[in-house]
Amino acid sequence: MNTKNFISVILMSMLFILQSCKKNKLCDGDKEIKGSNHLVDLSVLKTVPQMLDSLAKYPQLQAVRFYDDEYMTSVTCNYFYNGLKVFDASYQLTKSKKFGYFDCYDYTPKVAIPTNLVKNIDGKKALEIARKEINFKGSCLTYQLCYYYSDTSTTEKPSSYKLVWDVNALGGSAYVVLDATTGFIYHKFDGVYTAK
């Protein structure tokens, strides 16, 4: 190998190592998620004006997923109440391309959620509690104040809604959902799936 080729190989190796280091960079800060901005580009819905109309009429809906194939067009939304996301509540509107009819799947609260819920735990404390519960392995975290339905009964009650922090590993599947008043852990998952 001549000197010119050797230098090229060394430079390419150094560039590869530098790029690898950038990809594995440690977290540069956790991020609080606020607001109800759409998470998909709404211009993809221009072929179904009824969907755009629904999103304009109901600002408490936040489009998070869009699906389009030869059979149907569908948009799935998170639901917000009093400016806060309602954990696990969703709304989906689907249009059949073959028959032209619409299906609506409404999994939003059917009762008024209390707005006088107390938050004793701020976002930074929620991150501290979450990190003690599971090992996020140096990941950056997102955290969002949400409403959470804590009851397992089939009859929905306003008193069953709690204020929670939803803490998630950025780019991963690990999460902790904890009560914003007491710190009680409702759900947690370390991101590791095990075969049984």
Q: Is the pLDDT of residue 189 over 90?
A: yes
The pTM of this model reads 0.76
Cα–Cα distances (Å) from 17 to 3, 20, 72, in that order, read 21, 5, 45
Mean pLDDT for 175-185 is 96
Q: Is the pLDDT of residue 45 over 50?
A: yes
Q: Is the pLDDT of residue 105 over 60?
A: yes
Q: Is the pLDDT of residue 42 over 80?
A: yes
Q: Is the pLDDT of residue 31 over 70?
A: yes
Identify the pLDDT of residue 38. 85
Buried-state track 171-194, b at ≥16 Cβ within 10 A, e below 16: eeebbbbbbbeeeeeeeeebeeee
Buried-state track 12-45, b at ≥16 Cβ within 10 A, e below 16: eeeeeeeeeeeeeeeeeebeeeeebebeeeeeeb
Which structural domains are found in the chain, ordered by start? 42-107 (3.10.450), 113-189 (3.10.450)
Tell me which residue of 59, 60, 81 sits closest to 145, measured CA to CA. Answer: 81
- Take residue 178 and report the two structure tokens written for it: 């904890």
Beta carbons of 62 and 80 less than 8 angstroms apart = yes
